[in-house]
Structure 1
Amino acid sequence: MIELSGLTKRYGEKVAVNNLTFTVHPGIVTGFLGPNGAGKSTTMRMMLGLDNPSAGDVRIDGKHYSQLKDPLKYIGALLDAKAMHGGRSAFNHLLCLAQSNGIPRGRVREVLDTVGLTAVAKKKAKGFSLGMGQRLGIAGALLGDPEILMFDEPVNGLDPEGIHWIRNLMKSLASQGRTVFVSSHLMSEMALTADHLVVIGQGRLLADTSMTDFIRQNSRSYVRLRSPERERLLDVLHQAGIPAVEAGDGALEVDGTASERLGELAAGHRLVLHELSPQQASLEEAFMRLTAESVEYHAHSDRPRSDHAGASPPEQAPGWGDGWQQRRKGA
């Protein structure tokens, strides 16, 4: 279990993490979401004692990270897949970690096999691809067989098979009763992996809830209806006191009424339905809606306008596509 209480980090006048309080529970995969610059990496670094908080507290199974003897046996983490000595082989990189935490040498071979790197165990890490580096970082997190695991963007560089593997690995670890905390910008992957979500924006806690409740609370759910007898369907809905909104493609949209009820109503009036489909926003849509006011950087696709009609657009700096700008919110 990871417990944060009033966790705060300041860099001069900049507040990177602002009074965060939440608990990461065992037995489930907890997703950690937030826009760029929200404070996710800083928060995870403070959890591992890599940065000291300006205020507040973080406890790993009731202890500060600095109080853990052989910490890899308590908590394993992947924060940066490149955080390794490139001149060491994969085996020796893990062996150094193992020796520093009193972990048997045989465990190195076990985790190399788990992540699929046995065949390249003697090769130097500097020659690894990004995906291989990710696998080696995951092996390091698993090395001490810890009860708590933290992953920051674990699918970076992985091919589809690797993504499927790490997704199932995290679910398997959680099913064993372990605490699994994962940060990612890939909403589609997080939707398939996480059971619970912690969402922050500009260093503040925005949500701490289940995946299902998060999407429900931050999106519109409705039912689409389509019938060749559209006008009669509208009359039936009106008589039942059910308001419907006309969609642009000829369908009707109904809020607040279950699809089962609508299907039974249509059947009772012998109405033919060509569509009866509950609509639920994706995790990405719900996330964008919740964090809209917390995004620090915005990109705009409008082509720059000239002050004079017919004038050519101004020259742009090399490397920037036409019409793209990046600006700090509020600047």
Structure 2
Amino acid sequence: MIEVAGLSKRYGEKLAVDGLTFDVRPGIVTGFLGPNGAGKSTTMRMMLGLDRPTAGDVRIDGRHYDRLTDPLTHIGALLDAKAVHGGRSAFNHLLCLAQSNGIPRARVHEVLDTVGLTAVAKKKAKGFSLGMGQRLGIAGALLGDPRILMFDEPVNGLDPEGIHWIRTLMKSLAAQGRTVFVSSHLMSEMALTADHLVVIGQGRLLADTSMADFIRENSRSYVRIRSPQREQLLDVLHRAGITVVEAGGETLEVDGHGSEEIGELAARHRIALHELSPQQASLEEAFMQLTAESVEYHAHAGPALGDPPPTAVPPPAPRRSWGDDWKKG
């Protein structure tokens, strides 16, 4: 387990990390999210004793990192895949790490095989592609067979097969009861990998919750409907007190009511439905919603690029029968 308590870091006038408190628990993959400049990398460096906190405390299984004997056997980390001596081969790079922590030479062969680099083990790291460098960094993190693993942007430079591999690896490590802490800007990948999320913005904690709760609490859920009997459906929904918004074309959206309720209402009035689908926002949409006020670097699109917001559909006008017109005549 990683325990972070009141962690702060100041660089001159800049408060990069501001009183963070959270735990990273074993048995699950915990995602670490935040906009650029939020303080994620600084936080991870303080966890590993690479930066000294201005205030607060970090403990790795109850101890400070600098008090760990043979730290690679307690926590393995990938923070910068380029932090490798380019003149060393992949094998010799890992061998140096192993010897510094009392790890058997045979373990080097094992992790090279795990990450798929056995065929290039004797090649110098300076000739590695970005993806190969990432695999070498992951091998270094796995080298001591630690109970805690920490990855910063682990899928950078990996091809689709490599991304699937690292996703499966992290899930399997968590399933073994290990603590897995991963930072990434790829929301789609994080949504497939993480069970729990820690989200920060401008150095402050914004959320510490499960993936499902995070999306539910920071996004809009609605039901999308299409029907060839649109006007009749609108009439029925309005009479039932259900607010409808028009999403473009023939599509309608309803908030605050389940698809079962709407489907049963339509069935009672013999209204055909071509679509009745509950919609849940993505992790990316929920993240953007929560961190909108914490983004340090804003880009602005022209007004022509934005889509107009959904507009409420007014109740249909009362229907007049042929007899009503005849009476007026």
Superposition TM-score, scaled by structure 1 size: 0.89
How far, CA to CA, are the matches of 1:183 and 1:124 in structure 2?
A: 28
Tell me the distance in 2 between the aligned counterparts of 1:258 and 1:163: 36
1:43 is aligned to 43
Counterpart residue number, 2:250: 250
Matched, 1:274 2:274: yes
Amino acid at match of 2:183: S
> 1:137 maps to what in 2?
137
> How far apart are 1:266 and its partner, in Å?
1.6
- Give the residue type in structure 1 aligned to 2:235: D
* Pair member with larger Rg: 2
| Partner deviation per Cα, 1:80-106 (whole Å, 9 max, x = no partner) | 001111111101100111111111110
Which residue number corresponds to residue 120 of structure 2?
A: 120
Deviates more, 1:195-204 or 1:243-252: 243-252
1:247 partner SS: strand
> How far is the alpha carbon of 1:248 from its aligned partner?
2.3
Deviations 1:122-158 (A, max 9, x none): 1111111110000000000000111100000000011
1:36 and 1:243 map into 2 onto residues whose CA distance is 38
How many residues align structurally?
303
What do you get for the CA RMSD once the two structures are aligned?
1.2
Give 2:310's aligned residue.
none
**For 2:249, what is the secondary structure of its paired residue?**
coil
Map of 1:79 onto structure 2: 79
Question: Which residue does 1:218 correspond to in 2?
Answer: 218
SS in 2 for 1:171: helix
Q: Could you tell me which residue of structure 1 aligns to residue 319 of structure 2? A: none
User: Which segment drifts farther, 18-27 or 294-303?
Assistant: 294-303
- 1:59 counterpart residue number: 59
Structure 2 CA distance for aligned equivalents of residues 261 and 174 of structure 1: 39
| Equivalent residue, structure 1, for 2:286 | 286
Aligned to 1:173: 173
Q: CA deviation at 1:302?
A: 4.7
Cα shift at 1:242: 2.1
Counterpart in the other structure of 1:96 = 96
Aligned counterparts of 1:66 and 1:247: Cα–Cα separation in 2? 56
What 5-or-longer segments of structure 2 have no aligned partner? 304-329
Secondary structure in structure 1 of the residue aligned to 2:248:
coil
For 1:195-237, what per-residue CA distance to the aligned partner results, in whole angstroms no more than 9, with x for missing partners?
Answer: 1111111100011111111111111110011111112212222
1:153 aligned partner, one-letter code = E
Q: Distance in 2 between matches of 1:25 and 1:236?
A: 50
- Higher deviation after alignment, 225-234 or 15-24: 225-234
Give the whole-Å Cα distance in 2 for the aligned partners of 1:146 and 1:265: 56
Paired letter, 1:112: L
TM-score by length of 2: 0.90
- Superposed CA deviations along residues 249-275 of structure 1, whole A, max 9, x for unmatched, are 222211111112222222222210011
Code of the residue aligned with 1:236 in structure 2: it is: V
The letter for the 1-side match of 2:78 is L
Three-state SS of the structure 2 residue aligned to 1:224 is strand
